[in-house]
Amino acid sequence: MTDFSRYTVSIDYDRRLYKQDVAGSIAHAKMLAKQDIISQDDAAQITQGLKAIEKEIELSSFPWDPALEDLHMNIESRLHQIIGAAAGRLHTARSRNDQVAVDLRLYTKETIKEIAKGLRGVQQALVGLAFRYQTVVMPGYTHLQRAQPVLFPHHMLAYFEMFQRDIGRFQDCYQRTDVMPLGSGALAGVAYQTDREFLAAELGFSRISANSMDAVSDRDFVVEFLAAASVCMMHFSRMSEELILWSTGEFGFIRLSDEFTTGSSIMPQKRNPDFAELARGKTGRVYGDLLGMLTTLKGLPLTYNRDMQEDKEGFFDAADTLSTTLNVFQEMLPGLKLNEERVSSLAGESQMLATDMADYLVAKGMPFREAHGIMRELSRHCDERNISLNDLPVAEYKKLSDLFEQDVYDITAESSAAARDNPGGTAPVRVAAALEEAKRIMEAAPDGF
């Protein structure tokens, strides 16, 4: 082959759609026979031939020929070699344009289901960690500054929520992918009395496309898949960032298992969180896949244009990147060891309890703004002298308000968390209820669908 003819070839990557292509063709042949467009005998030969081809592909004995450009031409040509003349009838009332559309939709539907399952697995792992460390209080952050104590399981459940929304996004995408385009032909429909509803039922689609021109040129479902994958990777990237920070000597919150860290070739003490770093890094390529697809589509007039062949590599890349990321996190999270002592001692530092001390004054009748001002002053005072609020004698407190009594020292990280007893808050009772709800959600749809 010349370098030029290579330019149009897609067989190196579209062969991944072989199962869907064979299934689509078998359903099509069956429909043609049912409608008396081809004979039952031809349909039977075609079906047999296609099944033989599927086997060959699985056994890696299929003679792929780049000169035939794509998957569809390779399979059709091989069908001729195997069954002879009847093969020529398969492409009646069909075009590669509706054929590739049906293949990619079938593949996307399956991929979405696998991803939803993987996301459930990650949620399971998060809930597992949440139960393991259910009572541990840790520092919660804003601006990456220690802010208020939160329960460790509350932090884990924040990610549960993100992944729950991701599952929802993939489910939405599924609805719009679940549309059967065969029967659209090249662009205008086909000049045969086909039975499109039959095809939809055979192939497991819940409805048929309404407009043949749209059906052959629509790749919105690919864009939506890539968008959902991008948001999901963004979530993994954020979690990775936390795992990386938490594994540093500076934080010292967690230890990842050896399997998911690597040593340095020069510094013997190193335990680098490479898997989390790579998840963060791979997020960039998934965004790239999304941007690539959007850009490919943006100038295309109706209907099919060859540009659209470029939909596949980015799609496969994003799907592969996301599914391996899901596998990694399902394995990596259960091996995470939390340094309970360290996180709870940091959570107990009294500067983190300043809000609670303001609330203490509010409970005794002071307006919140005034209480906030007093605590600000006390906190500054402590900062300057490098002591903590708990080190201040009660007399110092009383200088700013005589509402302060000895019981101000009873405020702890635990009492702070327990006070946040409203829906969505970090009080242990609320977190326990949220964990039950998470379990209920997972049990209702173990595979995310």
CA distances 96 to 61, 185, 429, Å, are 24, 8, 58
Identity of the residue, 20 or 97, whose beta carbon is nearer to ligand ARG in the bound complex: 97
Binding-site size, ligand ARG (CB under 6 A)? 10
Q: Does 25 bind ligand ARG (CB under 6 A)?
A: no
Gyration radius (Cα) of the chain, Å: 30
Smallest gap, in angstroms, from Cβ of residue 71 to ligand ARG? 7
CB of 307 to ligand ARG, least distance (A): 9
Nearest to 262 by CA among 273, 277, 253, 249: 273
Q: Is the peptide bond before 108 cis (omega within 30 degrees of 0)?
A: no
Is there a contact between 437 and 423 (Cβ–Cβ < 8 Å)?
no
Query: Could you tell me which stretch among 139-147, 304-312, 406-414, 435-443 binds ligand ARG (CB under 6 A)?
Result: 304-312
Among 32, 100, 239, 322, binds ligand ARG (CB under 6 A): 100
309 touching ligand ARG, by CB under 6 A: yes
**Segment interacting with ligand ARG (CB under 6 A) among 93-101, 137-145, 364-372, 421-429:** 93-101
Catalytic residue among 206, 264, 345, 415: 264
The answer to whether 299 and 235 are in contact (CB under 8 A) is no
Indicate the residue among 148 and 296 with the shorter CB distance to ligand ARG. Answer: 296
Catalytic residue, candidates 60, 61, 143, 265: 143
Phi/psi for 420 (5° steps) reads -85, 60
Which strand (E) or helix (H) includes residue 230?
helix 220-246
Residue whose CB is less far from ligand ARG, 306 or 369: 306
Active site residue 264: yes
Question: Which one among 93, 226, 308, 378 touches ligand ARG, defined by CB under 6 A?
Answer: 308
**Candidate ranges 96-104, 283-291, 417-425, 437-445; the one touching ligand ARG (CB under 6 A):** 96-104
**In this chain, which of 20, 97, 194, 217 binds ligand ARG, going by CB under 6 A?**
97
Give the separation between CA 449 and CA 445, rounded to whole angstroms.
6
Which residue in 28, 94, 96, 420 binds ligand ARG (CB under 6 A)?
Answer: 96
Nearer to ligand ARG, 235 or 312 (CB): 312
If one asks whether residue 10 binds ligand ARG (CB under 6 A), the answer comes out as yes
Instruction: Classify each residue of 12-38 as buried b or exposed e, where b means 16 or more C-beta atoms within 10 Å of its C-beta.
Output: ebbbbbbebbbbbbbbbbbbbbeeebb
Q: Which of 14, 76, 98, 289 binds ligand ARG (CB under 6 A)?
A: 14
> Residue 142's beta-bridge partner residues?
145
Question: Is position 143 annotated as part of the catalytic site?
Answer: yes
- Cβ nearer to ligand ARG, comparing 15 with 399: 15
Tokens of 110: 């399956």
What are the structure tokens assigned to 360, written together? 């203490």
Rounded Cα distance between 313 and 189, Å, is 28
Part in contact with ligand ARG (CB under 6 A); list of ranges 164-172, 192-200, 300-308, 321-329: 300-308
Output 184 or 247, the one with its CB closest to ligand ARG.
184
Q: Which residues pair with 140 in a beta bridge?
A: 148
Place of tokens 């699985």: 58
Token representation of residue 121: 């697995």
98 binding ligand ARG? (CB under 6 A): no
Does 70 sit near ligand ARG (CB under 6 A)? Answer: yes
User: How far apart, in whole angstroms, are the C-alpha atoms of residue 108 and residue 104?
Assistant: 6
What residues form DSSP beta bridges with 149?
139
List, by residue number, the catalytic residues.
Answer: 143, 264
Q: Which residues bind ligand ARG (CB under 6 A)?
A: 10, 14, 70, 96-97, 100, 304, 306, 308-309
